[in-house]
Chains A and B, each alone.
Chain A
């Protein structure tokens, strides 16, 4: 473990999580969630869990972001009720 690298990743992780929760636009929110996934992937690769990092990069950051965007695309800005 490289301590300085860890700290940088963890700070970015928290920043990305807070922004993803607070941003008004759902599309930006899901994009930032993808960034969050890649940061976690980086953290795991750095800790030596390469298989988990690979899964996170493919599933967490890649496909689930696309699924979120596909879902957001089918929503409207204003609710109908």
Chain B
């Protein structure tokens, strides 16, 4: 009881302090706040620069993508590495290898756990999933490929693509999803994604510029100026992010739902 009172007390005090701190912030969308207008006689505003110059610099209409994938390329690259590390950690903690389980999958496969076999609810759910999954995957690819023109990008598209495999695993069973996207292939896909991202960075270095400074890649893409090269590189980098996120999302689900055995889940 006393701990509950103390916990409530701590939460209320912390909340009050946070609210007090927030009250000092400039108002939402205030054009005169330091972030939007810059400091008088000091640093110019960075958000102003992004808003006015990012289209000229990169020819990418979606400001968010150009900031994330170009101006702050390191940030996004190591975010992707964090996701990869999370997948690896879950693999290292949960994954169980045992010999006696190896006999099981043949048994379950002979029962015919496919989309439409089995009880009636499985027929309905299986047919719906079979109709919906291609649409989801197409939408995911659109989100990735169109991320620098409309909202979206590698993270969102990768999550949707990974979720389409999770839906297969939910509607049927994990074996059916793993038959389409095996453990070997999802980890391979995740590693290739980071390699693509880092590869773009190293390629820039090889051509004589800084790491992830895409402008120099116009020599490879044969574009008119560095702007379109930056635009194309952003697309390539987003594809790399999408690969990693797709693989890791499904890896996390597969390991969590089956207690790391990758068999007989949900």
Contacts and interface: CB of A to CB of B under 8 A. Distances in A.
Interface of A: 1, 47, 50-51, 53-55, 58-59, 62-63, 66-67, 70-71, 73-74
SS of A interface (majority): helix
Given A70-B253, A74-B259, A63 B156 contact: no
B155 A66 contact: no
B170 A66 contact: yes
Contacts of A62: 159, 163
A62 to B, nearest CB: 6
Contacts, number: 54
Interface residues of B, number: 25
23 contacts: A1-B29, A47-B28, A51-B64, A51-B65, A51-B151, A51-B152, A51-B153, A51-B156, A55-B155, A55-B159, A58-B163, A59-B159, A62-B159, A63-B159, A63-B166, A63-B249, A67-B253, A67-B256, A70-B253, A70-B265, A71-B256, A73-B266, A74-B259
Contacts of B228: none
Contacts of B152: 51, 54
A59 B266 contact: no
B215 interface: no
B123 interface: no
A58 B163 CA distance: 9
A71 B265 CA distance: 11
Contact of B155 (A1, A59, A73): A59
B160 interface: yes
Contacts of A74: 256-257, 259
Interface of B: 28-29, 62, 64-65, 143, 151-153, 155-156, 159-160, 162-163, 166, 170, 249, 252-253, 256-257, 259, 265-266
A22 B65 CA distance: 39
Contacts of B259: 74
A38 B106 CA distance: 41
A54 B156 contact: yes
Nearest to B245: A59
B138 to A, nearest CB: 15
Contact of A66 (B28, B64, B163): B163
Contacts of A54: 143, 151-152, 156
A67 B163 CA distance: 10
A56 B4 CA distance: 32
